[in-house]
Amino acid sequence: MPDAAARRARMRPLYDLLVGVESVQEFLGDLARLASDEIDRELSCGLTVRIEGGPMTIASSDDFAARLDGVQHTAGEGPCLEAMATGHPVEVPDVARCERWRPGAPTAWRTD
């Protein structure tokens, strides 16, 4: 178990984030980037909420996450929307090879 000093050191970026933002939107964007960097620098993170029955992306760690959310909102299906509907995380190790949702969706998710 990490000692108190190690825990404080790991939490420092979050503390800095909390005191250094001017808006909720800025905070959520910074939080998405911090989360993806902390877990895996190649990970993308998007925060989607349901407003008036429909999904709305409120923050993204990068352009790829924002684009992926847009594709899902248009298609009405995808990993983020499934997680929202079920309340359980949905992991997609390689979106370019994912065939779980609409067959054409991975083409729109390409990073190139």
Q: How far apart are CA 105 and CA 95, in angstroms?
A: 9
Task: Output the pLDDT for position 23.
Answer: 82
Task: Output the pLDDT for position 86.
Answer: 94
Backbone angles phi, psi at 55, to 5 degrees: -80, 150
pTM exceeding the 0.75 threshold for the entire prediction: no
Q: How far apart are CA 108 and CA 35, in angstroms?
A: 24
DSSP state of 95: G
How many helices (H) and strands (E) in the chain?
A: 5, 2
pLDDT tens by residue, 65-91: 898 888 888 888 888 899 989 999 888
Distant-in-sequence, close-in-space partners of 108: CB < 8 Å, separation ≥ 6: 67, 71
Please provide the DSSP assignment of 32-70 as one string.
HHHHHHHH-TT---EEEEEETTEEEEEEESSHHHHHHHH
Q: Which residues of the chain have pLDDT under 70?
A: 1-2, 17-19, 102-112
